[in-house]
């Protein structure tokens, strides 16, 4: 489950409230972008959580959006960076990951996995599962539609089927009231009647081993919702069969 959440963290990261939410623009951009989280709060690497909180309060007194500033834009930038650093350094696990990231900047895969795994913990499982079910539903539907369309094209393109469709079309049209040359019926009439016969064969399920046309009932999300009832029906059938 963790791997699924981490995989979708990249898609849902803009909604994450937590460490490193400002950064995603380069190898050194994790957590506090290209700044050092400790420097943003003017504390040492050995600073305690209380010292970090005290440092953030001092910055907030000057640069909080509610405070009047000569340069509101610069104050907003400073406060945002400090708040982000505060979130990183007051979470024990995130701070541990950040310290390792600073000491081992070349271990890109390890650092990024640790970062996204931590960020994924702040993402609700519900939107992740909803997105996953939605993606699987679309993929399965498109796959079924492609399979069905390919089967229709291949079956209608079969020469034996074309010959049979023409014969059935002539039977359906019957004897023409008035001769129209050697063919009797117009070519377009025969073609339309032949197409209708082929469509009827497909729609009525008269072709063996022909794929079912996808519908809303075949959607993955619908089958998922119905799965408890489907399982119940199978259990009832199995118990009845055993008797």
Helix axes 125-156, 159-173, angle to 10 degrees: 70
Q: Hey, what are 118's tokens?
A: 């931590």
Q: Would you call 171 helix, strand, or coil by DSSP?
A: helix
pLDDT at 53: 96
Who wins on pLDDT, 93 or 121? 93
**CA distance linking residue 128 with residue 9, whole number of Å:** 8
For the chain, helix, strand, coil in percent to 5 are: 70, 0, 30
Instruction: Tell me the HSE value of 236 on the side-chain side, using a 13 A CA sphere.
Output: 6
Per-residue pLDDT of 98-139, as tens digits, reads 999 999 988 888 888 888 888 777 666 777 778 888 888 888
pLDDT beyond 80 at 222: no
pLDDT at 184: 62
Residue 44 φ/ψ, nearest 5 degrees: -80, 165
pLDDT at 14: 44
pLDDT at 19: 45
Alpha helix stretches (DSSP H) within 13-91: 37-40, 49-63, 72-89
**Mean pLDDT in residue range 208-235:** 77
Instruction: Tell me the CA distances in angstroms from 117 to 4, 46, 93, 131, 186, one per residue in order.
Output: 10, 25, 11, 18, 69
pLDDT at 39: 94
Residue 177 φ/ψ, nearest 5 degrees: -65, -30
**CA distance linking residue 207 with residue 74, whole number of Å:** 72
Task: Determine the distance from the C-alpha atom of residue 61 to the mean position of all C-alpha atoms in its chain, rounded to a whole number.
Answer: 42
- Residue 205: left if φ>0, alpha if ψ -120 to 50, beta else—which one? left
Q: What is the 3-state secondary structure (H, E, C) of 210-233?
A: CCCCCCHHHCHHHHHHHHHHHHHH
Per-residue pLDDT of 6-50, as tens digits, reads 454 444 444 444 444 444 444 457 889 889 999 999 999 999 999
Domains of the chain: 2-123 (1.10.287.110), 127-215 (no CATH)
**CA distance linking residue 88 with residue 86, whole number of Å:** 5
Contacts 24+ apart (CB under 8 A), 26-35: 27/105, 27/108, 28/105, 30/101, 30/111, 30/112, 30/115, 31/84, 31/88, 31/94, 31/98, 31/101, 31/115, 32/81, 32/84, 32/85, 32/88, 32/98, 33/81, 35/81, 35/85
Per-residue pLDDT of 123-180, as tens digits, reads 667 777 788 888 888 888 899 899 999 999 999 999 999 999 999 999 888 866 555 5
**CA distance linking residue 30 with residue 37, whole number of Å:** 10
């Amino acid at each position: 489950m963790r791997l699924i959440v981490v995989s979708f963290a990249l898609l849902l990261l803009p909604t994450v409230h937590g460490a490193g939410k400002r950064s995603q623009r380069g190898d050194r951009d994790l957590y506090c972008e290209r700044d050092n989280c400790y420097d943003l709060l003017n504390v040492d690497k050995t600073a305690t959580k209380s010292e970090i909180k005290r440092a953030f309060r001092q910055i907030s007194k000057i640069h909080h959006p509610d405070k009047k500033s000569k340069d509101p834009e610069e104050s907003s930038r400073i406060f945002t960076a400090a708040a982000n650093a505060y979130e990183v350094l007051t979470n024990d696990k995130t701070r541990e990951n950040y310290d390792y990231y600073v000491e081992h900047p070349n271990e890109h895969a390890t650092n990024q996995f640790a970062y996204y795994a931590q960020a994924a913990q702040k993402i609700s499982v519900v939107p992740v599962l909803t997105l996953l079910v939605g993606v699987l539903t679309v993929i399965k539907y498109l796959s079924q539609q492609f399979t069905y369309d390919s089967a229709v094209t291949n079956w209608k393109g079969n020469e034996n089927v074309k010959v049979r469709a023409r014969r059935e079309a002539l039977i359906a049209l019957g004897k023409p009231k008035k001769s129209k040359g050697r063919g009797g019926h117009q070519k377009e009439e025969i073609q339309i009647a032949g197409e209708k016969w082929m469509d009827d064969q497909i729609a009525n399920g008269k072709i063996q081993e022909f794929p079912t046309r996808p519908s809303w009932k075949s959607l993955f999300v619908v089958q998922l919702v119905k799965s408890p009832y489907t399982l119940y029906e199978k259990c009832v059938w199995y118990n009845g069969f055993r008797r």
